[in-house]
Amino acid sequence: MNTPRKAPTMADVARLAGVSPMTVSRAFKRDSSVSEATRETILKAADEIGYVFDATASNLRSQKTDFVAVTIPSINNANFADTLRGLSEGLKARGLQTLLGYTDYDIQEEERLIEQLLRRRPEAIVVTGGRHTPRARRMLQNAGIPVVETWDLPEAPIGHVVGFSNALAVRGMVDHFVAQGLTRIAFIGGDADRDTRGSDRREGFIAAMRAQGLDPSRLIAAGAPPISMREGAAAMGRLLDTLPDTQAVICVSDLSAFGALTECQRRGIPVPDRIWIAGFGDYEIAEVSVPSLTTINPFPREIGARTAALLLRVMDGQQEGPATLAIHPQLLIRGSSR
Amino acid sequence: MNTPRKAPTMADVARLAGVSPMTVSRAFKRDSSVSEATRETILKAADEIGYVFDATASNLRSQKTDFVAVTIPSINNANFADTLRGLSEGLKARGLQTLLGYTDYDIQEEERLIEQLLRRRPEAIVVTGGRHTPRARRMLQNAGIPVVETWDLPEAPIGHVVGFSNALAVRGMVDHFVAQGLTRIAFIGGDADRDTRGSDRREGFIAAMRAQGLDPSRLIAAGAPPISMREGAAAMGRLLDTLPDTQAVICVSDLSAFGALTECQRRGIPVPDRIWIAGFGDYEIAEVSVPSLTTINPFPREIGARTAALLLRVMDGQQEGPATLAIHPQLLIRGSSR
DNA sequence: ATGCCTCTTGGTATCGCTCCCGCCCTGTCG
DNA sequence: CGACAGGGCGGGAGCGATACCAAGAGGCAT
């Protein structure tokens, strides 16, 4: 039963309710300055003719969209999904809607995405990571809206920052393993620099090993980031084949770490008795798997929640300059490393 | 270096480029009826003054937003994320952008969400599931845009459908187990009807057991849907405590099935030798875990891709009436059940 | 009764882009 | 040489809501 005739507008509602379009507008805005009786009349009239508020017109005239643009590397990642949840729940309370795009871990794609998103005139933009193409940086700087970079602590932030140092987080893990007496430690990650957070973790591993005076060359590249459980398993296979005396392996994510663990199980190699395994992210599987996985919790949900709170402060004018909120990832020692 | 002055408009670009605003508009629309030389002049001028196309004005005047609204139960679910990827990739090719919202498995929340989304004037709307509040149904019916219900085969579709029967898929699993000679089969799921797909699977289990003349009462309710790995593990614990002679358990999802598997591992109960375990969804973990998990692949990516293709046909006027595209889930027998 | 304040309502002019229509210029053909 | 087609471009109006200004009604203190 689609109505083929044109969709009703506020003017139609106003005519039926016997008021001016302006009053209809106020009624829909929950503006206090319209009497309860009129509002009810109006809403009933609107319902009767099936009026649906037209946000496109509102957006243009009021120069407000109630959009907050968000770019994440991948939707299919529980960590980023958590950040997005924290963010969108915090924003929903203020009637702000997230306008989401995926970059596929590619800063070229991010550039295209940012351009598309900015055309929609969001009131703020949240990006994942601190590395962008020059043009993307320029667009963000000139957008005239609050910008938040997350999941990183960039050296030259564009605007606000809510994140942590991926390199330092991994260093904490390395230092812990070394303090336990281990020396032959490997790292499993992706084979390209597309995933900047993954690269940062690998670089952090290398720097930490060097700082400890240890050999940082046990590096296994497992495929295009983000690497999967399967790829983690395959990488573990290569590691066991080529460097069988490895005592511990740090994986770029819990997913690859779990894959690595399963490869050990298939080969009958006991974890942690023969080799320790650690991941990153504190995904649910890290806690549930047998043995449970040593990992790092970067508090993804908090990143989102604090970003939302920050944006609300900025929009309220309660935040003066650009803010940098440092998140402190937590090292979680579990069954796979003791 | 935010420019405090007003953002430039097409008129500003036109003035600088020495053409009319109309020509600027055509240049940005990649309209063929503007010479290559003029287009270049215009784009250079636009870049020079930092012009950003204003989609809000375009949306209003052209009555087109290039939005396709999408509701999914949760962003933190690899199956729905896959559907969303298939969908948004298919739509991106035509310049359509997905406008996403999460219902949290709640049809009340879905109703609110649909209202918000329709205000943005999307050109089509894709919802997950076939059960909605009466008001949500009405809004969808009267929206005057293509509607697609997915992940289900509703008896009274609102418009188009791309999905499968959750109940029949589970029946296939039950029938397979029975054909293997098992009779004492349990089901682990959520404890509420919020997750309609989960409920459909449980009902499918009960119906299938009845049809086989078997007892369908081995039901464990594990918590609020969607149930997690942890909850799956806890449910398995309860099942082993209360009904230790159970021969096989079908879980509402691979995640809970994996949790159940880990509980068996912790208790030293061999899978599949003592008990079989099956999940639903063919998440990556089902293939990687040791043993790998018997499951059902509903082809989530294809649901999204076919939805996108369908919508493009509809928008091109190549699709006459409402279409129902049935997806045929695949039963995957793996190590956890043989 | 007058002044003033608050609450509620209305009229008008846009917000920035694009639909629609028309004009000019060039090239081709009878 | 005039007619005509078509590509390239411009002018004016309008998409549907709201910012802004103004005004009437009612209440209360002076």
CB atoms within 10 A of CB B30: 8
CA dist list (Å): A242 to A53, A239, A248, B144: 64, 5, 14, 62
Do residues B128 and B277 share a domain? no
First vs last C-alpha separation in chain B: 66
Q: Are A206 and A266 in contact (CB under 8 A)?
A: no
- Which chain B residues are closer than 8 Å to A101 by Cβ? 97
pLDDT mean across residues, chain A: 95
Nearest in space to A222 (alpha carbons), one of A231, A230, A213: A231
Closest CA to B333 of B284, B289, B283, B279: B279
Interface test with A, best of B84, B120, B271, B336 (most A CBs within 10 A): B120
Strands B276-278 and B147-150: unpaired
Residue B69 and residue B46 share a domain: no
Report the pLDDT value the prediction gives residue B225, as an integer from 0 to 100. Answer: 87
Residues of B with Cβ-Cβ distance to A284 under 8 angstroms: 228-230, 255
Please indicate whether, in this complex, the C-beta atoms of A60 and B65 are within 8 angstroms of each other: no
Is B183 in the same domain as B227? yes
Mean pLDDT within B235-261: 98
In the prediction, which pLDDT does A202 show? 96
pLDDT at B2: 42
| Rounded-to-integer distance, Cα B303 and Cα B327, Å | 7
Give the C-alpha separation, B211 to B168, whole Å. 12
Peptide bond into B272 cis (omega under 30): yes
How high is the pLDDT of residue A1? 39
Q: What is the pLDDT of residues A83-94, one digit of tens each?
A: 999 999 999 999
Say yes or no: A306 and A283 in one domain.
no
Residues A155 and A227 reside in one and the same domain = no
Q: For tokens 């449910």, what's the residue?
A: B235
In a domain? residue A338: no
Domain count, chain B: 3
Q: In the structure, how far is the CA atom of residue A56 from the C1' atom of nucleotide D14, in angstroms?
A: 15
Average confidence (pLDDT) over B96-119: 96
pLDDT at A3: 44
* Cα A276 from chain centroid (whole Å): 28
Task: List, in order, residues 6 or more apart from B19 with CB less than 8 Å away.
Answer: B38, B41, B42
What pLDDT is recorded for position A191? 85
Is the pLDDT confidence value at B32 over 80?
no
Residue A288 has pLDDT above 60, yes or no: yes
Q: For A96, which residue in chain B has the nearest alpha carbon?
A: B116
- How far apart are the C-alpha atoms of A151 and A195, rounded to whole Å? 12
Whether residues A229 and B284 touch (CB distance < 8 A) is answered with yes
What residues does B295 pair with on adjacent strands? B332
What percent of chain B is predicted at pLDDT more than 90? 93
Q: CB distance B288–A230 less than 8 Å? A: yes
Residues B192 and B157 both lie in one domain = no
**Token digits for B272?**
């599949």
Selecting from A2, A3, A81 the residue whose C-beta is nearest the C-beta of B76 gives A81
B175: domain CATH number is 3.40.50.2300
Residues whose CB is less than 8 angstroms from the CB of residue B61 and which lie 6 or more positions away in sequence, other chains included:
none
Task: Decide if A3 is inside a domain.
Answer: no
Distance of alpha carbon B265 from alpha carbon A275, whole angstroms = 20
Residue B97 covered by a domain: yes
Residue pLDDT, tens place only, B299-313: 999 999 999 999 999
Position B5 scores a pLDDT of 65
What residues form DSSP beta bridges with A294?
Answer: A278
**Both A160 and A170 in a single domain?**
no
Chain D footprint bases within 7 A of protein beta carbons: 7-12, 14-20
Q: Which of A181-195, A200-214, B184-198 has the highest mean pLDDT?
A: A200-214
Instruction: Kindly state the tokens that stand for A227.
Output: 């690497």
In a domain, A276, yes or no: yes
The verdict on residue A97 lying in a domain is yes
The mean pLDDT value of chain B amounts to: 95
Same domain, B126 and B185: no
Is residue B175 domain-shared with residue B290, that is, in the same domain? yes
Confidence bin at A119 (pLDDT 50/70/90): very high
B16 and B102 belong to one structural domain: no
Whether residue B323 lies inside any domain: the answer is yes
DSSP H helical ranges for chain B: 10-17, 21-28, 36-48, 55-62, 78-92, 107-119, 134-142, 166-179, 196-211, 229-242, 254-267, 284-288, 300-315
In a domain, B27, yes or no: yes
Nucleotide nearest to A60 (CA to C1'): C15
* Domain CATH code at residue A33: 1.10.260
Report the 10 Å Cβ neighbour count for B42: 25
pLDDT tens-digit series, residues A267-284: 999 999 999 999 999 999
Residue-number span of the structural domain to which A148 is assigned: 65-164+300-328
- A189 and A158 in a common domain: no
Task: Give the pLDDT confidence of A123-143 residue by residue, as tens digits.
Answer: 999 999 999 999 999 999 999
Residues B150 and B193 in one domain: no
Structure-token match 């404890």, residue found: B191
Q: Which two tokens stand for residue B329?
A: 């889930």
Whether B1 is covered by a domain: the verdict is: no
